[in-house]
A and B are shown apart, each in its own frame.
Chain A
Amino acid sequence: QVQLQQWGAGLLKPSETLSLTCAVYGGSFSGYYWSWIRQPPGKGLEWIGEINHSGSTNYNPSLKSRVTISVDTSKNQFSLKLSSVTAADTAVYYCARGLTGIAAAGTWCWFDPWGQGTLVTVSS
């Protein structure tokens, strides 16, 4: 059974860089897209981006200029960096295993399982 465990700094000042890491235990690292998703307090989910074991990435266009997702296949880990944070980046950040593909009827994608979440607060 695949489990994701994430960690990183929970309190940042404006303009700093958010850094989180997610470790994957108990399953294959290849064949999936490893994703980051965030949820501002009391609000809905926002997809940040994803990476596969080869290092191929896709990012949310609205965050692309500030986001870097990287992978360390030797450790079965992937990481998120978000630069120049502001209060608007305050959220619970989740890592998740993504399954994505293209069929005749369109693109399919879903996330399972998810990490436990990390609350990141940006405050001066």
Chain B
Amino acid sequence: DTEVTQTPKHLVMGMTNKKSLKCEQHMGHRAMYWYKQKAKKPPELMFVYSYEKLSINESVPSRFSPECPNSSLLNLHLHALQPEDSALYLCASSPMDSYGYTFGSGTRLTVV
């Protein structure tokens, strides 16, 4: 298995909703990432997990809450989002001490 799987592919949520994005990989990668990509912009890093521990938080607002329950799963919990948070959310993984990043197909999030 050489893929990063993200679910759901599309999500529409209201500003008062709570939802979660899920990411899964079975490549044995011990580093996992969340990126955010707005339309016609490059992906921007949000969080990095190394060995299931948060190692980088790029000053992301607390309405985004990451969680890494085990070495194969990465979640992004969403609460009280704003319409400007609408974007493509990308998950990626890589082996430790390696540049071999693999990206998922992303979740297209729309906040209404």
Q: Do A and B bind each other?
A: no
Residues of B within 8 A of A (CB): none
